[in-house]
A and B are shown apart, each in its own frame.
Chain A
Amino acid sequence: MQSNRQLIKDGTLAENLWLYLEDDAALSDTASIVSLQRLEDEADTLRARNAPLGVILRAGEKQGEDVRRLAPFLDMIQLVAIEFPVYRNGRGFSSARILREELKFDGEIRATGEVLFDQWQPMARCGINAFEVDASISLDQFNQAMGEFSQAYQPASDARRGLLWQRHGK
């Protein structure tokens, strides 16, 4: 995590205990976030290791890494970081929903990269629960952004049911 960033997790400022590990860096007993490639290549070693493990889904040049490649490893990871390289690349919104709804991942999903004020609430609706945000952002600002819309028309990964259903008590 960059030094000018802070972590907001589950609605509060949180200490970042995770280290992003380069592919050639040695493994240690620190909570570490590795690349998807490394996870696949060194799955056995990583599984034998005695420390929390996370993985980052990189956005890539053209398409971005496929979240479904995580399926065989879900039992060994506690965190998935999703990279948003620029605000307009919204592929990660789908990755997060697939993780939560299809792959039933219940660990931390963290947004990293260029994430704008008005994107936090929809990200949270897609199942992202941790945000690396600019250090200048106050928790009040964050919570204000999270409350910009009091209702939602459609269901997603969160508890909101969607107005099309809610109107009829469904």
Chain B
Amino acid sequence: MYRYDEFDHQLVAERVEQFRGQVARRVAGEITEDAFKPLRLMNGVYLQLHAYMLRVAIPYGTLSSKQMRMLAHLAREYDRGYGHFTTRQNIQYNWPALDRIPDLLQELASVEMHAIQTSGNCIRNVTSDQYAGAIADEVEDPRIISEIIRQWSTFHPEFSYLPRKFKIAVTGHKNDRAAIKLHDIGIVIVKNAAGEIGYEVHVGGGQGRTPFIAKKMSDFVPAAQLLAYLEAVMRVYNMLGRRDNSYKARIKILVHETGEEEMRRLVEAEFAKIDASQMLTVPQEEIDRIAAYFAPPALQELPAASASLDAARASDTAFDHWVTTNVVSHVKPGYGIVNISLKPIGGIPGDASDAQMDVIADLAETYAQDEVRVTHEQNLVLPHVKLDDLKTVYDTLLAHGLATPNLGMISDTIACPGLDYCNLANARSIPLAQEISNRFADLDRQYDIGELKIKISGCINACGHHHVGHIGILGVDKKGTEFYQISLGGSADENASLGDITGRAFTEDDIVDAIENLVASYVDLRQGGERFIDTYRRVGMQPFKERLYAE
């Protein structure tokens, strides 16, 4: 894991002091809420329906056990005993008191964490693959370049007041788990014919009310020039992005209105100028210095199979199911990648209590090389666990309500906070996720249905990623009543696609039956080993729609 040097420490400490001064000026009434707003937003502090909310960055989703324990401590001391993991690999606290936030940030800084640029119209937390460094066939650990991007983008003097927020995601694997094509910039690490590392850069993806899949701007940007290329994209956006209408201000709209070809020409022209100055060419020594922090952990040489694991699976069906759904093959024989579902049946997607976070920190320290990962699907990961230890880890998780064997299943829903917390929402998301989870609680049935990604947003801003759900659900407000619109066929992976709306929206009372109806259609229509998304792509909307709206 990356460790701060003296400069990183100093900058974060200076930021805390800066914010302490801003809060003091606000509390003393020297500045108005209006003037305070941009300052607090730069530090991840939102004003929600009931209270201030603080969003803490977890860069590229990687945490140490010490950091996880701090997140638990903050939940206990400053919140109501829980935290909420989000689709951008952040954690949110819903109830901190404003005057205590500087202290909270100071505690956070002591474990090399911050809330810098987790909101506001700036470059946000860089997100990445939760299996980085643990999965086979990775071109390069994506956290190396993610950390370089994190540093370059932190307090960037030119790009802190962009037309709108800006999100960058990186994957180093052909299977995209970071939804890179739904980001303002999505980066795929690739190798060219000469075996050199470079970056395929996608620009202009995003969700919200006008969703777009990103356009590929470059097939190969050499490693040392990536920052120059990114700065070129950012400058074109900052100069030409729309500022007259916040709904049209994201770079996806600029790419769409400018056209892919012209956008590429503008970026290349800017890149040529910046690159010629060499000022952003990252020294190889610095790339090496950062890469060293992400060197593979010292894992043991073990046989590929574990006799104790096989025996435990044979004698404990629930454990066997959990291993099947939640454990993924590790690049190193004898190890596994453990997914911890934060979607217990009937629970709130992404929530974890302080006690649960402490338990996960202990497990990470003892069994997983001291690492925890956060996924954009609002779950957690222990990246390096010996197969021999899986049963012990499972038993502890089970005792704390963390062993739900539903990864990728219908109850592993993404949901935004919705009307329960958010002042933008039209409808509630969490209660609906809970209802769906309860309706499909039966595990045998979930396994029969197989991979099915339901994603729920409480409004058109699409924080719950409904556009890219195999089944997407969008809360809409009609004359003061909550309705839910369904879309089908979305996907956030390397074959990213946007869902198609089925038609008329459903009431709160009908929506779960409607989901049931869609699942029944799929079960009837599927062939061979098809997943829901495969069947939908083969047969299209019509058969689903006919049955959904049949009288």
Contact of A122 among B39, B152, B157, B283 (CB under 8 A): B157
Instruction: Name the distance in Å between B150's Cβ and chain A's nearest Cβ.
Output: 9
- Among residues of B, the one whose C-beta sits closest to the C-beta of A87 is B38
Contact of A168 among B22, B42, B158, B283 (CB under 8 A): B283
Q: Are A89 and B243 in contact, CB atoms less than 8 angstroms apart?
A: yes
Selected A-B contacts with CB under 8 Å, 25 pairs: A63-B242, A63-B243, A64-B243, A87-B38, A87-B161, A88-B38, A90-B121, A90-B238, A91-B239, A93-B159, A94-B238, A118-B22, A118-B39, A121-B157, A122-B158, A126-B157, A126-B158, A149-B18, A149-B155, A150-B14, A154-B227, A156-B157, A156-B158, A164-B151, A164-B282
Instruction: Name the distance in Å between A115's Cβ and chain B's nearest Cβ.
Output: 11
Asked whether A125 is an interface residue with its Cβ less than 8 Å from the other chain, the reply is yes
Q: Which residues of B contact A (CB under 8 A)?
A: 5, 7-8, 10-11, 14-15, 18, 22, 35, 38-39, 42, 121, 148, 151-162, 227, 235, 238-240, 242-244, 273, 277, 279-280, 282-283, 285-286, 289
Q: Are A91 and B243 in contact, CB atoms less than 8 angstroms apart?
A: yes
CA distance A112 to B282 in the complex (A): 34
Contact of B283 among A64, A88, A101, A170 (CB under 8 A): A170
CA distance A22 to B85 in the complex (A): 54
Instruction: Name the distance in Å between A32's Cβ and chain B's nearest Cβ.
Output: 27
Asked whether A102 is an interface residue with its Cβ less than 8 Å from the other chain, the reply is yes
Can you list, as one digit per residue, whether each of A43-71 has a CB less than 8 Å from chain B (1) or not (0)? 00000000000000000011110100000
Interface residues on A, range: 35 or more
CA distance A104 to B19 in the complex (A): 35
Asked whether A148 is an interface residue with its Cβ less than 8 Å from the other chain, the reply is yes
Instruction: Name the distance in Å between B267's Cβ and chain A's nearest Cβ.
Output: 14
* Residues in B neighbouring A73, C-beta threshold 8 A: none
Can you list, as one digit per residue, whether each of A142-165 has a CB less than 8 Å from chain B (1) or not (0)? 000000111111111000001111
* Residues in A neighbouring B238, C-beta threshold 8 A: 90-91, 93-94
CA distance A101 to B270 in the complex (A): 12
Given A64-B243, A126-B157, A168-B289, 17 additional A-B pairs, CB 8 A: A62-B242, A87-B38, A90-B238, A93-B157, A93-B238, A94-B239, A98-B235, A102-B273, A116-B38, A118-B39, A121-B157, A148-B14, A148-B18, A152-B157, A153-B156, A164-B286, A167-B289
Q: Which 7 A-B pairs have the closest CB atoms?
A: A90-B161, A122-B157, A125-B157, A153-B151, A93-B158, A168-B285, A62-B244
CA distance A119 to B151 in the complex (A): 19
CA distance A70 to B242 in the complex (A): 22
CA distance A32 to B39 in the complex (A): 35
CA distance A125 to B148 in the complex (A): 20
Q: Are A151 and B18 in contact, CB atoms less than 8 angstroms apart?
A: no
Asked whether A97 is an interface residue with its Cβ less than 8 Å from the other chain, the reply is yes
CA distance A98 to B148 in the complex (A): 24
CA distance A83 to B433 in the complex (A): 48
- Among residues of B, the one whose C-beta sits closest to the C-beta of A149 is B14
Contact of A163 among B7, B38, B42, B158 (CB under 8 A): B7
Q: Are B244 and A153 in contact, CB atoms less than 8 angstroms apart?
A: no
Known: A89-B243, A118-B18, A168-B283. A101 touches B277 (CB 8 A): yes
CA distance A118 to B18 in the complex (A): 9
CA distance A155 to B285 in the complex (A): 17
Q: Are B235 and A154 in contact, CB atoms less than 8 angstroms apart?
A: no
Q: Are A163 and B161 in contact, CB atoms less than 8 angstroms apart?
A: no
Can you list, as one digit per residue, whether each of A29-47 has a CB less than 8 Å from chain B (1) or not (0)? 0000000000000000000
Contact of B158 among A62, A89, A94, A170 (CB under 8 A): A94
CA distance A151 to B157 in the complex (A): 12
* Residues in A neighbouring B148, C-beta threshold 8 A: 164
* Residues in A neighbouring B239, C-beta threshold 8 A: 66, 91, 94-95
Contact of B155 among A66, A93, A101, A153 (CB under 8 A): A153
Q: Are B7 and A151 in contact, CB atoms less than 8 angstroms apart?
A: yes
- Among residues of B, the one whose C-beta sits closest to the C-beta of A167 is B286
Contact of A97 among B8, B158, B243, B286 (CB under 8 A): B158
Q: Are B283 and A164 in contact, CB atoms less than 8 angstroms apart?
A: yes
Contact of B156 among A62, A95, A121, A154 (CB under 8 A): A154
Q: Are A63 and B240 in contact, CB atoms less than 8 angstroms apart?
A: yes
* Residues in B neighbouring A164, C-beta threshold 8 A: 148, 151-152, 282-283, 286
